[in-house]
Structure 1
């Protein structure tokens, strides 16, 4: 009996030591998971503004761009050369700009050592031109998509979409903006001088291991890669000198997993003027705008002569302590410093009316569908390149109900369409969710109801995607595909990922 007691004492001691060690490791992980750069950023580097991509216009009016996917080196940190990828350069890409009603063609050349693709995020265009995983461009090949732009003025973007490798390719730097202009927006008195009072602001989170990017993930997190600091347009510690009273910031969350809640360090009010799908009906005064990966927002901020203010990302409430801490909800970043000149150009007052939303109200919907989001897949199924998950009829309006079923942060992006958010957990949307969207954040346990119109063209053999735009989740299988068909037509045969180009 005495020996048995000694064994129990030893086992108890071992268990106590083990539990103490586990508790210590967890406490260390918990404390170390919170990231903040507030008050620590030097703002020593002038913000880079991506150049406008040159183009030519052919006799039939087609505007032609050229994009070259290439490897290179960039000095993000003083004296250290990092080997990223980019379009027409070593990191990120130029800003493409075209008008509603124009025909465009983009010559995409892949000089990388592996296949990739270029998806036109937010663009309405034929499925064969979408640049998803079915339009991969092989190394050494060229792909030339073409389409007619038929949607409102908006801030869109382009990025790779190779099946299973999207996160890695975006992290390496393959991304750029695509601005759509239109006559109605041109007539508005909004800041519109690109690079002057109209600034692209593509925000990414990064970590470095010496000269190289470090894309490791947390052992306790399931969101994906979360970096220790932010870059804007590929610039660390950025500042921008501005010379106008009103400055328009085209915010793009170009990160692969991190969610931002943007505002200003002095809590000043700004005007939201546009979301993913384009201009709002009228400016919306606010102090915070939340963007999950892939979302965009255009805000106009008023500057006073000689002042400085900092664009900041604030902590957020994920309603779940675990994902709050290990999914980045507790993190905060100083992103960009705006420095006003001592004398500023006068800016006209913002117009009281901006645009008309070209997204359906939902009352005319002919069908509803349900999408349950889990890390294991959508509606219980992982992505299959050869399977059509949904078939929709050209010209029809549908309502899609999307529910986060597993608690971790997710969002939902639908290719080709812009949608209206009808409900969030049974209540009307507020803030930027009242406007045209193609990507929406779906917090743990939340349900959103969306209305969208599918205008085609019909193509039963070539699918569009819908997926979580936290790219680790997408690559893990949180993606499905749908085809648009004529009334009475069935889905065709979808091939599993042939390379585009020649």
Structure 2
């Protein structure tokens, strides 16, 4: 069987969308319908071994700098044998290798662009100087090489890299330009957790795609959230399975889709054990019914297998989980169900130790903040305006912590990603965050009519000349201009680019 049966799309009129959302989304035009409700549960054959992205090769220079090489290139991929799709990848035809670095290590990545158009590489979740960030100000022209260099100074975490060209990010990521960047440190290495890459520590890069009946990649239907495929590929493969020989397995989940959110859990309904979010380990494992990830978010989960057992990772989204009204949910992927990955345990498994009750020590959420800033997400705008490349929207003083209040007053799906730092969620609608949001984050799903209080600390990398970005990580929204720029400066300094204030300025 080539894969799951393609379900029929159920299209909903734009007029019904507008009524259900309660917002004037004329900006979405009359063509928005999405693919309708999709389910592949019970229809996936799981007949493809899970590909494991190779570990990126590196060299170490005399000064100790670890150097990686990435080349963005065009190629072809057979999602179904014999059916060729045009795709992009790093160092290959689709996706890219996994980079690994230690905390305290100096790294450089020589990024070559072999495409026929400009692109960038953004180190999503990485704390690094603005000029090394890989946003739309660091475009790499065809034939050029860009060599960002920085010292890794954050805890062990599952990060990733992807393009960030303004107005074209959705297209570049959807074509396959993405990969993982794993950070290690001594504290995480001292824990009895699975960490043999590709064996008991598996990268799981989830994307939704639209394929023809012959298996060729095609353009996905458009919902308000963005383009929504009607089936999944994991690490670039349809219907993957992974053979495991250890009792305890670690899955590093990356939502590399451009628009679709997921709610991951197990097919038999048992809890899914979350140990880490975007920026690293939680204080303790959290048993959840589902782990929800919007585009760009990551989660590390553990699963303990029994000999000979088969277990299926699924995504079962509901309007309640997404915070959407049923009609809006139905045309934005929030009623969809997918079989994602099958784990197949060997008849005899290597014993694994128990998971420690305490995984990490997280500092208290800061309350001494230098400024409070308001970010309202509505339509394709933040605080009522769209991205301008020559405008600094916010200026932050180095060495301070800030409170960013992010809200979604509309009935439509949005998310929020901040470059440069990992943040803590101080409250959700004034209440303490749930355990799954209590760790370090760089991207959050922003539910409709909900307010999130984020605490961010900016300890270094002042640069008045080069901004960082904040934006909705539904990449079509980002491309439409749902993005702003902030600069980190020394006390009393101003950003050198144009700086404007707005009605939502900080206080």
Q: Does the pair score TM above 0.5?
A: yes
Determine the structure 2 residue equivalent to 1:163. 166
Partner SS, residue 477 of structure 1? coil
Count of aligned pairs between the two proteins? 470
Moved >3 Å (runs of 4+): 29-32, 209-212
User: Conserved in 2, the CA contact under 8 Å of 1:270 and 1:302?
Assistant: no
Determine the structure 2 residue equivalent to 1:152. 155
User: Conserved in 2, the CA contact under 8 Å of 1:66 and 1:107?
Assistant: yes
User: Conserved in 1, the CA contact under 8 Å of 2:34 and 2:228?
Assistant: no
Task: Report which stretch shifted further, 480-489 or 313-322.
Answer: 313-322
User: Conserved in 2, the CA contact under 8 Å of 1:269 and 1:301?
Assistant: no
Partner SS, residue 402 of structure 2? strand
Between Structure 1 and Structure 2, which shows a larger proportion of helix residues?
1
1:293-372 superposed matches below 5 A: 293-316=295-318, 317=320, 318-357=323-362, 361-372=365-376
Determine the structure 1 residue equivalent to 2:276. 274
Determine the structure 2 residue equivalent to 1:419. 423
Partner SS, residue 52 of structure 1? coil
Determine the structure 2 residue equivalent to 1:143. 146
Q: Kindly provide the CA deviation profile for residues 397-429 of structure 1, in whole angstroms up to 9, marking residues without a partner as x.
A: 000001112211100000011011011112111
Match among 60, 64, 69 for residue 66 of structure 1? 69
1:322-471 superposed matches below 5 A: 322-357=327-362, 361-471=365-475
User: Conserved in 1, the CA contact under 8 Å of 2:254 and 2:297?
Assistant: yes
Q: CA RMSD in A?
A: 1.9
User: Conserved in 2, the CA contact under 8 Å of 1:460 and 1:483?
Assistant: yes
Matched, 1:86 2:89: yes
Per the TM alignment, residue 30 of structure 1 is displaced from its structure 2 partner at its CA by 8.4
Per the TM alignment, residue 376 of structure 1 is displaced from its structure 2 partner at its CA by 3.1
Task: Report which stretch shifted further, 202-211 or 62-71.
Answer: 202-211
Match among 216, 222, 225 for residue 223 of structure 1? 225
Per the TM alignment, residue 213 of structure 1 is displaced from its structure 2 partner at its CA by 2.1
CA–CA distance in structure 1, aligned partners of residues 326 and 50 of structure 2? 35
Partner SS, residue 137 of structure 2? helix
Determine the structure 2 residue equivalent to 1:198. 201
Alignment gaps of 5+ in structure 2: 1-10, 18-31, 500-507
Per the TM alignment, residue 494 of structure 1 is displaced from its structure 2 partner at its CA by 6.5
User: Conserved in 1, the CA contact under 8 Å of 2:160 and 2:180?
Assistant: yes
Q: Radius of gyration: which is bigger?
A: 1
Partner SS, residue 496 of structure 2? coil
Matched, 1:207 2:210: yes
User: Conserved in 2, the CA contact under 8 Å of 1:311 and 1:337?
Assistant: yes
Partner SS, residue 116 of structure 2? coil
Alignment gaps of 5+ in structure 1: 1-20, 496-502
User: Conserved in 2, the CA contact under 8 Å of 1:73 and 1:82?
Assistant: yes
CA change 1:112–1:494 in 2 (3 A) is farther
User: Conserved in 2, the CA contact under 8 Å of 1:392 and 1:484?
Assistant: yes
Determine the structure 2 residue equivalent to 1:8. none
Partner SS, residue 158 of structure 1? strand
CA–CA distance in structure 1, aligned partners of residues 219 and 303 of structure 2? 33
Q: Kindly provide the CA deviation profile for residues 107-144 of structure 1, in whole angstroms up to 9, marking residues without a partner as x.
A: 00000010000000000000000000000100010000
CA change 1:211–1:302 in 2 (3 A) is closer
